[in-house]
Amino acid sequence: MLNFTIRQLGAELAARRVSSVEVAQYFLARANTLGKTLNAFITLDEEKTLARARAADAMLARAGKDGNEAGPLTGVPIAHKDIFCAKGWRTTCGSQMLDNFIAPYDAHVIERFDAAGMVPLGKTNMDEFAMGSSNETSFYGPVRNPWNTETVPGGSSGGSAAAVAARIAPAATGTDTGGSIRQPAALSGVCGLKPTYGVCSRYGMIAFASSLDQAGPFARSAEDLALLLNAMAGFDARDSTSLERAPEDYARDLDKSIAGLRIGLPKEFFADAGGVAPDVARAVEAAIAEFRRLGATVVEVSLPNMHLSVPVYYVLAPAEASSNLSRFDGVRYGYRAPEYSDLLDMYKKTRAQGFGAEVRRRILIGTYVLSHGYYDAYYLQAQKLRRLIANDFIEAFKQCDVILGPTSPTTAFRIGEKSADPVQMYLSDIYTIAVNLAGLPGMSIPCGFDGRGLPVGLQIIGDYFAESRMLNAAHQYQQATDWHTRVPPEVKA
């Protein structure tokens, strides 16, 4: 069962060769052992998980009778990033602020996976309020990378990426504001996809930066990502930024040939990028060569404003975050300082104690850039540049179907290596951030290893709503290569 893909697992369940309860117990056992070592989960709740597994088994038992249908995901476990509210589950967002918060409602994404019959395995560890690229800002401690437990799994969806990499969960959810799905997918050697902004509802997903946040799946193959995206995407009237589009089957193009696929290579990703580690560059170039072998053509494109994306992001995302996180004030729910003298003191102490250093830093930056007298120079300016960055992509996609490049400039770094230098940490998302600013879909798939045996991620960026085309490219690559099937050496059944 260890290396079953979701498709395989779904088939086993549908054929009733294994029960959902058995599958859940198998993965729960891993979560309780290896999961603890990696610190991948914040909350496990066996009773809830097994109850859902039993319900899935009942659904599978009825399937085919009286018009009952089970889907390809029915009974398959999925770990959820602890940013999604799930009714009755503690939902912390990796913060002391919500340490005691039991969500009274389900996020839309949770509803969708529940409706698909998936079994929630637990809530995964993450950077506090999704602010981080290493999973070190979590109130619950850092997550360890299964490829090397001295290194980070990436962030902010580090627990989800590590859980999938370590075969603790066959699938997981994540969110991506500046690379928080793709970068940990790359560093942990799994597949992760961030859809076009608006494809998945943000309802019930605790907001970091509303105009950038987007939910997406983790799995070990592009095909599995397509199945998961089929379940989680869809219009939701409770999110005004959710897009009302006809449902589509993201798996429909998987088997198409990619002969003639036009691959754009932004020169800024390669020639100009001094920061890319040689091992990463080598693996990505080899992957591009593989794509050419499969019939794709390569064209150089340019994203001239690319270099502005990190500074633009670190104005806009903190600005929105400073406002989004104002609701954590100790008044209605969550953490409240045990002692205070008056209202103002209560606010100050609650927020100073309840938030970690990185969250406080970003609230301060965000508050500053929105302040009277600075708004025009920072926020407004950044919004204008955001448009330019998006326009660069629109221009580039006139010449190509997908853009390829590295997901992250480096492979996984050591725990603690970058925590003293926030800017170094922020640069870890240099290749992913522009995609969020433009609202485009992007994904990362494994494409090799560095000299230390740490995985390298290949980023595939698509045009708006081109998820199925990206998945097609990734799937064809995975049919020809086996990087995505590699198992971390320490991970055993």
Partner 1 sequence: MKWEIVIGLETHAQLSTASKIFSGAATAFGAAPNTQASAVDIALPGVLPVLNKGAVERAIRFGLAVNATINRRSVFARKNYFYPDLPKGYQISQYELPVVEKGTLNIVVGDTEKTIRIARAHLEEDAGKSLHEDFHGMSGIDLNRAGTPLLEIVSEPDMRSAAEAVAYAKALHTLVRWIGICDGNMQEGSFRCDANVSVRPQGSDKFGTRCEIKNLNSFRFLEQAIEFEAKRQIELIEDGGAVVQETRLYDPDKGETRAMRSKEDAMDYRYFPDPDLPPLEVSKQWIDKIKCDLPELPQVMANRFHLDYGLTKYEATTLTRDGVMADFFEYALAFVSTQPAEWPKLPKPPSRGINIAKAKPDAKLVANWILGEVASLLNKEDASTAEFRITPHQLAELMHRIKGGTVSAKIAKEILRILWNENPEGDIDFIIEEHGFRQISDSGAIEKIVDQVLAANPRSVEEFRAGKEKAFNALVGQVMKATQGKANPAQVNELLRKKLGG
Applying CB under 8 A, among 241, 353, 381, 481 the residue interacting with partner 1 is 241
Applying CB under 8 A, among 27, 41, 89, 101 the residue interacting with partner 1 is 101
Question: Judged by CB under 8 A, which stretch of 72-80, 157-165, 182-190, 371-379 contacts partner 1?
Answer: 371-379
Contact assessment for residue 228 and residue 73, using Cβ atoms and an 8 Å cutoff: yes
Question: Judged by CB under 8 A, which stretch of 71-79, 102-110, 275-283, 410-418 contacts partner 1?
Answer: 102-110
Q: Which residues contact 182 (CB under 8 A, 6 or more apart)?
A: 176, 192, 193, 194, 407, 408, 432, 435, 442, 443, 444, 457, 459
442 DSSP β-pair partners: 194, 461
Minimal distance, residue 138 CB to partner 1, in Å: 16
Minimal distance, residue 312 CB to partner 1, in Å: 15
Question: Judged by CB under 8 A, which stretch of 100-108, 140-148, 298-306, 466-474 contacts partner 1?
Answer: 100-108
Per-position x/- string for 264-303, each x denoting binding to partner 1 as judged by CB under 8 A, each - no binding = ----------------------------------------
492: phi then psi, degrees, rounded to nearest 5: -130, 165
Applying CB under 8 A, among 29, 237, 352, 480 the residue interacting with partner 1 is 237
> Could you tell me the two tokens for 309?
């994306």
**337 belongs to the binding site for partner 1 (CB under 8 A):** no
Applying CB under 8 A, among 93, 233, 425, 473 the residue interacting with partner 1 is 93
459: phi then psi, degrees, rounded to nearest 5: -95, 135
**130 belongs to the binding site for partner 1 (CB under 8 A):** no
The DSSP code for 62 is H
Per-position x/- string for 162-201, each x denoting binding to partner 1 as judged by CB under 8 A, each - no binding = ----------------------------------------
**96 belongs to the binding site for partner 1 (CB under 8 A):** no
**385 belongs to the binding site for partner 1 (CB under 8 A):** no
**364 belongs to the binding site for partner 1 (CB under 8 A):** no
What's the CA gap between 434 and 299, in Å, rounded? 20
Minimal distance, residue 283 CB to partner 1, in Å: 36
Contact assessment for residue 286 and residue 420, using Cβ atoms and an 8 Å cutoff: no
Contact assessment for residue 94 and residue 125, using Cβ atoms and an 8 Å cutoff: yes
**384 belongs to the binding site for partner 1 (CB under 8 A):** no
> Could you tell me the two tokens for 147?
């490829």
Question: Judged by CB under 8 A, which stretch of 56-64, 208-216, 294-302, 435-443 contacts partner 1?
Answer: 208-216
Name residues contacting partner 1, limited to 317-336 (CB under 8 A).
319-320, 322-323, 325-329, 331-333
> Could you tell me the two tokens for 96?
């002391």
Minimal distance, residue 104 CB to partner 1, in Å: 7
Strand order in the sheet with 77-81: 41-43, 119-124, 77-81, 172-176, 214-219, 191-194, 442-449, 455-462, 402-406, 262-266, 297-301
Interface size with partner 1, residues (CB under 8 A): 44
228: phi then psi, degrees, rounded to nearest 5: -65, -40
Residue 256, class by beta-carbon neighbours within 10 Å (0-12 exposed, 13-18 middle, 19+ buried)?
middle
Write out the E strands in 357-428.
402-406
Residues known to be catalytic = 81, 156, 180
**375 belongs to the binding site for partner 1 (CB under 8 A):** yes
Applying CB under 8 A, among 39, 49, 74, 91 the residue interacting with partner 1 is 91
What's the CA gap between 143 and 275, in Å, rounded? 25
What's the CA gap between 435 and 199, in Å, rounded? 15
432, HSE (Cβ side, Cα atoms, 13 Å):
36
**85 belongs to the binding site for partner 1 (CB under 8 A):** yes
C-alpha 340, offset from chain centre: 38
What's the CA gap between 6 and 483, in Å, rounded? 17
**379 belongs to the binding site for partner 1 (CB under 8 A):** yes
Contact residues: partner 1, CB under 8 A = 84-85, 91, 93, 98, 101, 103-105, 107, 202-207, 209-211, 237-241, 319-320, 322-323, 325-329, 331-333, 343, 347, 367, 370-372, 375, 379
